[in-house]
């Protein structure tokens, strides 16, 4: 399967987040063309600052594979990873990250900085950005638009 296919799976995860009032962000981890884990943002529901889609997906993948080393895995995520998630990606040795929309307010995979490819770390990650970017971005902007309208009422 190709990157678009797995990104669409991540988008489906993001929609699950939206259904429960979370910021719609979803992630999928794939190894050898097999889906190892899927997750979506649960920060509000769980009131946990670390309950980002990528962290939850990484945690599940480590449990599933019984190793902290996700060396040949690819992580798909609808929004560019924040500093915490980019850190977790580097530390879990993920090989490749594919993300949808760029995040001008927090993106650490090339927008504000590039934690994934800093040669001072002992691991660098291949990055592909902009896959289904429009769909990923629109989900977020629609969510925040709706939130603002609801607040006004």
Residues 36-65, one symbol each (x = binds Zn ion by CB under 5 A, - = not), give ----------------x-------------
Q: How far is the CB of 141 from Zn ion (least distance, A)?
A: 18
Dist CA 144 CA 151 (whole Å): 10
18 binds Zn ion (CB under 5 A): no
In the complex, the smallest distance separating the C-beta of residue 32 from Zn ion, rounded to whole angstroms, is 25
Q: Which is nearer to Zn ion, 106 or 130 (CB)?
A: 106
**Residues identified as active-site:** 54
Q: Which residues contact 45 (CB under 8 A, 6 or more apart)?
A: 20, 21, 22, 51
What CA–CA distance (Å, rounded) separates 119 from 140?
A: 31
Determine whether the annotation assigns residue 85 to a binding site.
yes
Q: Which two tokens stand for residue 136?
A: 């990923």
Q: Are strands 74-79 and 96-101 parallel, antiparallel or unpaired?
A: parallel
According to the annotation, is 108 in a ligand binding site? no
Q: Which residues pair with 75 in a beta bridge?
A: 29, 97
Query: How, if at all, do strands 74-79 and 34-40 pair?
Result: unpaired
- The minimum distance between CB 81 and Zn ion, in angstroms, equals 6
Residues in 73-132 that interact with Zn ion by CB under 5 A: 82, 84-85
Nearer to Zn ion, 105 or 151 (CB): 105
Q: How far is the CB of 86 from Zn ion (least distance, A)?
A: 8
CA 20 to chain CA centroid, Å, is 18
C-alpha span between 116 and 54 (Å, rounded) = 14
Q: How many residues bind Zn ion (CB under 5 A)?
A: 4
What residues make contact with Zn ion under the rule CB under 5 A? 52, 82, 84-85
Residues in the annotated binding site for Zn(2+): 52, 82, 85
């Amino acid at each position: 399967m190709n990157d678009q296919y797995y990104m669409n799976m991540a988008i489906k995860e993001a929609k699950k987040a939206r259904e429960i009032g979370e910021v719609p962000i979803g992630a999928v981890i794939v190894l050898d063309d097999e889906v190892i884990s899927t997750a979506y943002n649960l920060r509000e529901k769980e009131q946990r600052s670390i309950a980002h889609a990528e962290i939850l997906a990484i945690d599940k993948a480590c449990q599933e594979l019984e190793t902290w080393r996700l060396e040949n895995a690819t992580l798909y995520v609808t929004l560019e990873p924040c500093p915490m998630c980019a850190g977790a990606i580097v530390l879990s040795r993920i090989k490749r990250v594919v993300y949808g929309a760029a995040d001008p307010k927090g993106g650490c995979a090339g927008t504000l900085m590039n934690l994934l490819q800093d040669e001072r770390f002992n691991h660098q990650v291949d990055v592909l950005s902009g896959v289904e970017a429009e769909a990923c971005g629109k989900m977020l902007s629609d969510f925040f638009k709706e939130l603002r309208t609801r607040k006004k009422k």
